[in-house]
Amino acid sequence: MRRLLLALPFALLPLAVAHAAAEHDHDHEHGSLGAHEHGVARLNASLDGEILELELESPAMNLVGFEHAATSAADKAKVAAVRAKLEKPAALINLADAKCTLEQKVLKSPLFGDEPDHEEPADEDGDEHHEHSEIHAQYRFRCVAPGSLTHLDLAPLFKEFPATQKILVQLIGPSGQQGGEMTAQAPALKF
């Protein structure tokens, strides 16, 4: 029996290599989430007692419709409108009957005048590559009735920002840790 257990990792090695190669090919075809993928956002959510923390990371394309620096009056107005919407997360996230109040919010993006998280390297000709702007929103809520918060519902966010096709979620709550995918057709995830 011990030999079988010792041999098992080696027997599964070809499967792991094949899976890794398939993932690598998939990442090059469609972009990986670690990279920058239009239409896809990430959300980390944590409910600990009365404190609910949410961190949304999204390509600016999903929320604003472009990623370049806003230079025209129309682009500046669009960035300002998106920022104003993100300043009011209760209108974007349905927190059921948990009676949550926003305690803290942090919004960051090169489009908001923040420094970019990284600089794109120049290519061999010295030309800079296209900057992939992201928008990061962090929220901290205090919920008077956290037991009423049985699920996280992002239907209003999908409605407000239709270019966001899916949100990959990592959730830590009373039931433990889980991951999931939310879409406009399935915008809720149970805690």
Domain boundaries, the chain: 36-190
Region 53-70: what's the mean pLDDT? Answer: 95
Could you tell me the pLDDT band of residue 50, with boundaries at 50, 70 and 90? Answer: very high
- Residue 109 reports pLDDT greater than 70: yes
Region 60-78: what's the mean pLDDT? Answer: 94
How much is the pTM?
0.74
Closest alpha carbon to 42 in 30, 52, 32? 32
- Residue 5 reports pLDDT greater than 80: no
pLDDT tens digits along 7-32: 334 443 343 333 333 333 434 333 33
- Residue 44 reports pLDDT greater than 60: yes
Burial 60-73, CB ≥16 within 10 A → b, else e: bbbbbeebeebeee
